[in-house]
Amino acid sequence: MEAEFVIVGAGSAGCAMAYRLAEAGRKVIVIEHGGTDAGPFIQMPAALSYPMNMPRYDWGYKSEPEPHLNNRELVCPRGKVIGGSSSINGMVYVRGHAKDFDHWEESGARGWSYADVLPYYKRMETWHENGHGGDAAWRGKDGPLHVSRGPRENPLFDAFVQAGAQAGYPVTHDYNGEQQEGFGPMEQTVWNGRRWSAANAYLRPAQKTGNVILIRALAQRVVIEEGRAVGVEVKRGRATEVIRASREVVLAASSINSPKLLMLSGIGPATHLAEHGIEVLADRPGVGQNLQDHLELYIQMASRQPITLYKHWNLLSKAVIGAQWLFTKTGMGASNQFESAAFIRSKPGVEYPDIQYHFLPIAVRYDGQAAAEGHGFQAHTGPMRSKSRGEITLRSADPAEAPRIRFNYMSHPDDWEEFRTCIRLTREIFAQDAFKPFVKHEIQPGEALQSDAELDAFIAEHAESAYHPCGTCRMGAADDPNAVVDPQARVIGVEGLRVADSSIFPRITNGNLNAPSIMVGEKVSDLLLGRDPLPRANDEPWLHPNWQVAQR
């Protein structure tokens, strides 16, 4: 089998690239190990806690024991399904802060500043403000990816924003527009009541062109002949075969699997590859390094009033919601329930937000376990730019074996101070007048925990991944020894091979990573087609005028 372009991974970036290449008349083969994304567990937004806990849809990765988190092994879900992680994620849509991308450019990723990427965000979106205001000029009107806002009918969504304002923070009507900083409505990749994954937005329309073939197989390594990538060796059933690319091979297999595939193909840290008996084709010490993620805690409050989603936390109510959604694609099932958000700065002198909030009108965990206390609500919070770095390494040279994932969470002393700040600032928000009618008491961490030592013990036991791994094939200048890809996303030292997914992020962006991952796919598709990039934008993002001296 052969095509002009072979893409490994039908996830957020892979689907976007397939769509743009097919639109340009190019022949593409997409290799995906996972199966179909049909069925209510994936397509119904409110069912989001199911697919990320189902082995059928998830690679099932776990971290090595984390030494700073009581040696816990943290789960690291990655989508093993059509649509990749966009089919199992929380559907939260955050572009990232303008300054994130300016930092990318400063660290060697030329052409990836905010002015460069904003036109791609606009190209990929069709934005629906749903009556909540926003910055239409900053948003896209006719892209494949529908971005909407929940109905925000529960009074707790408004209370969260009001409490933020009472605490002295700005209110923003569109954190994906001019002003990220502040409290306001949260955005979701949901359209007509369905999860609007990269598969629904990009891959299905691309397949209809007849230019895209989707193959279900496990990619084992990139085939490199005379310094050039010419195809991908895959396992389909019991047979091993090579799918050839006449132009380029693109890895879009996630920040876990893209570095793993590079290493299995002989591209990576020479000594590490030699340990596993893999012939070194390109010594790139940065492959698998620079692993980053967001950690978060749930700050939970018991509710005085029975208005939370807990009233639906029973089989009968779930069945009614599910039936309404199946037949009409409306009702509670049609939202991810993350409908209010905030981005704030932790202290004076921090130029742009470094703390994110997802607000949820129920006290519940990602694995679907509700708080024993009944009615409650919670804010997910954590620092955005941890200085800790981890790594992905091979466990063996067997492509079927999961790699070693060491996040090294909380290994930098600043992480602890930042996390304690998150807890204390959140408590202050929940103590505002807007929450007086609703807050009964604090469930978690619990009012008894106040000292630094008590909070640190709580963090060590309860911090969880927000599932935003990235950075393991860092993009940088071609002469940077630790960069893996150059600013055109080409793997340094090999011809005809690119990486395009969250692994190329030089540094993690503010917020959830699905939107920037899709943006990478959009931008790299123009590079693959040899097109000039879209003209740079001149929009000036808002920064707090007193950021040097004030926290809010």
Over residues 205-228, the pLDDT tens digits come to 999 999 999 999 999 999 999 999
Q: Write down which residue in 462, 480, 499 finishes a domain.
A: 462
Residues 355, 320 within the same domain = yes
User: pLDDT for 169-186, tens place per residue?
Assistant: 999 999 999 999 999 999
Mean pLDDT of 303-332: 95
DSSP labels, 76-127: E--B-BTTGGGGTS--B-----HHHHHHHHHTT-TT-SHHHHHHHHHHHEEE
Mean of pLDDT over the chain = 97
Residues 23, 74 within the same domain = yes
User: pLDDT for 38-51, tens place per residue?
Assistant: 999 999 999 998 99
Q: Write down which residue in 403, 430, 462 finishes a domain.
A: 462
Q: Is residue 228 part of a domain?
A: yes
In the predicted model, is pLDDT for residue 151 greater than 80? yes
The answer to whether the beta carbons of residues 264 and 221 sit under 8 Å apart is yes
Q: How far apart are CA 222 and CA 279, in angstroms?
A: 13
In this prediction, residue 7 carries a pLDDT of 99
In this prediction, residue 153 carries a pLDDT of 96
Q: Is residue 458 part of a domain?
A: yes
Q: What radius of gyration, in Å, describes the C-alpha atoms of the chain?
A: 22
Mean pLDDT of 193-201: 98
| Percent of all residues in the chain with a pLDDT value above 70, rounded to a whole number | 100
| Percent of all residues in the chain with a pLDDT value above 90, rounded to a whole number | 96
Mean pLDDT of 232-257: 98
Q: How far apart are CA 373 and CA 81, in angstroms?
A: 35
Q: For residue 376, give both structure tokens.
A: 């409650």
Q: Is residue 467 part of a domain?
A: no
Q: Write down which residue in 462, 482, 505 finishes a domain.
A: 462
Q: Residue 219 forms beta bridges with which residues?
A: 234
Q: Is residue 403 part of a domain?
A: no
Q: Is residue 349 part of a domain?
A: yes
Structural domain count, the chain: 2
Q: At 131, is the pLDDT very low, low, confident or very high (cuts 50, 70, 90)?
A: confident
The domain that contains 82 carries what CATH number? 3.50.50.60
Residues 92, 176 within the same domain = no
Q: How far apart are CA 81 and CA 33, in angstroms?
A: 7
Q: Is residue 519 part of a domain?
A: yes
In the predicted model, is pLDDT for residue 364 greater than 90? no
In this prediction, residue 25 carries a pLDDT of 98
In the predicted model, is pLDDT for residue 372 greater than 90? no
CB environment 174-191: b (16+ within 10 A), e (fewer): bbbbbbbbbbbbbbbbbb
In this prediction, residue 371 carries a pLDDT of 74
Residues 447, 483 within the same domain = no
Residues 143, 160 within the same domain = no
Burial of residue 242 (number of CB atoms within 10 Å: 0-12, 13-18, 19+): middle
Residues 361, 423 within the same domain = yes
Q: Residue 76 forms beta bridges with which residues?
A: 61
Q: How far apart are CA 171 and CA 165, in angstroms?
A: 6
- Owning domain of residue 39: 1-148+191-287+472-532
Q: At 370, is the pLDDT very low, low, confident or very high (cuts 50, 70, 90)?
A: confident
Residues 429, 500 within the same domain = no
Q: Is residue 126 part of a domain?
A: yes
Residues 454, 509 within the same domain = no
Residues 416, 519 within the same domain = no
Q: Is 468 a catalytic residue?
A: yes
In the predicted model, is pLDDT for residue 257 greater than 90? yes
Residues 69, 139 within the same domain = yes
CB environment 214-236: b (16+ within 10 A), e (fewer): bbbbebbbbbbeeeebbbbbbee
Task: Name every residue whose Cβ is closer than 8 Å to that of residue 285 and which is 6 or more positions away in sequence.
Answer: 268, 269, 270, 481, 482
In this prediction, residue 212 carries a pLDDT of 98
Q: Enter the pTM of the model.
A: 0.98
Q: Which of 103, 294, 468, 544 is catalytic?
A: 468
Q: How far apart are CA 297 and CA 420, in angstroms?
A: 11
The domain that contains 445 carries what CATH number? 3.30.410.40
Residues across the chain: 552
DSSP 503: G
Residues 39, 160 within the same domain = no
Residues 156, 209 within the same domain = no
Q: Is residue 400 part of a domain?
A: no
Q: Which of 462, 432, 435 is nearest to 449 (CA)?
A: 462
